[in-house]
Structure 1
Amino acid sequence: MTGYIEQREKEATELRLNESIASSERPKPPSAVASTLTFATRALLRIKHVPEQMFDVTVFPVIFLLMFTYLFGGAIAGSTEEYLQFLLPGILVMTVAQITMYTGIDLNNDIRKGIFDRFRTLPIWLPSALIGSLLVDVVRYSMASVIMITLGFALGFRPEGGLMGVLGAIVLILVFSFSLSWIWTVCGLIVRSEKALMMISFMVLFPLTFVSNVFVDPRTLPSWLESFVDVNPISILATAVRGAMHGTLTAQQVIWVLIVSVIMTAIFAPITVYLYRNKK
């Protein structure tokens, strides 16, 4: 009886397959949401099969936090515990900002391997390949945030803003990082190798993160340098994240983070889509 049922199911499957092949009607293209989720799933599978790429999310943040807390905490703040309250939000911002470049690196690899050309021949909403990858990067950013905050609690970090403040800080970081990723997608479409892209991102992010309020209070800096730090996008985000975690967040700080994020997205997202459609 079981064999008969299996045979009937096999025949029905073959019949449906033959009908689909013989039909002259073209299948409907997937919706923008469906194709975006498909590319997001592809990026997740890449993480599954190459878990080493998550070292920057899991290992490096831990090294950064431990190193800066215990090497410089006593010298800068007089106490590692006191410095940790100031440092952790800034290190969290720095870590997530630095891993935003991987969207551009993945895109550059797809171009060099020829996968990019295959995507452009598919009957899909073309930006879905980009947005799907960016959505998975949000998963990376979230993982980095959870790891950093968990380690911070173990070391003695105590956010006065409570759980809602921490969640609000993570949301601000995700919004900003999603916007920042568009810069690296543009670079990924322009440069010829991932090494060149990594060098460009290092040249941009290194000064932005170190000449900011991530590690020190800008009031201790020379006036001309303090002026730059105050308008540095990384400083703007770090200030808002600290405010959220310690319960001093203001509407103005949130608005500035959103303004910077909107500006980056408005400039670089259309450029990315244009280059993606017209790259030869």
Structure 2
Amino acid sequence: MESVNITQNNSQEFDFEKSLDVGNWFLMGSPVPLLTIMIAYWLFVLKVGRLWMNKRTPFTLTNVLAVYNVAQIFISLYILCIGSDFLWHNGLIQTGCGIEKADVKLSATAGTYTYFLAKITELFDTIFFILRKKYNQASFLHIYHHSITVMSTWVILKYEPNMIATIFLGTLNSFVHVIMYTYYALSAYPQLAKHLWWKKYITKLQLVQFMLIFVQILADYKYSKCKPSNILITVVCVNLLLFVYLFSNFYVKTYKLNDKKTKNVD
């Protein structure tokens, strides 16, 4: 589609401004619908789901998980492609306030919205853990990570949808998720799961991701001609540091300590 400057055509300006009013988009008009989804999610994964499964046999969900994980791979690939294209043409540092070309702005906003919807669908990760009675995997780290990602993405989309920092974050995260959901899709089949040796490297990749996002957003804040807001910087950086702590702690407990126990047994 040919790039169109918003100021060049009044009728096109009206159409694009109407399209870019995210308040008219599904779940974006008010925080109430999203909060309702999140409360239902927390109730199910923390209480109701566990009570419901108490006297039931765990569901296997092999084929359901395979389809779900493959769908997540393609969604993440789509976001990765459009995000990479945007960053390739616009760079990693915000050079101006806003995006001049209306079609590019609409594409960036729509991509962020797709990322937001993807984060909502990823809540099923935890729901599937509960239905399979994998309660240890529905940890504080897992639930907090999924919850804060959904809610912060809503806030960013509502108030700062076209910042380079947030597009970089979503693009890099989608790259990690392509690899992660590929692992999950394969591990859904027991005959394949025993041959998958690279799970711990996904956690390492996630930690590298957090570090890169941290460096990028600080660089953007220092060198950008249109700096991200202090609120965005604070929220993202605090959560990144918390994620680094939680994921590092998970890595040490899951892999390092287990390796030591295995060596002691040997």
- Give the TM-score normalised by structure 2: 0.32
Q: Which has the higher helix share?
A: 1
The structure with the larger Rg is 1
- Give the TM-score normalised by structure 1: 0.31
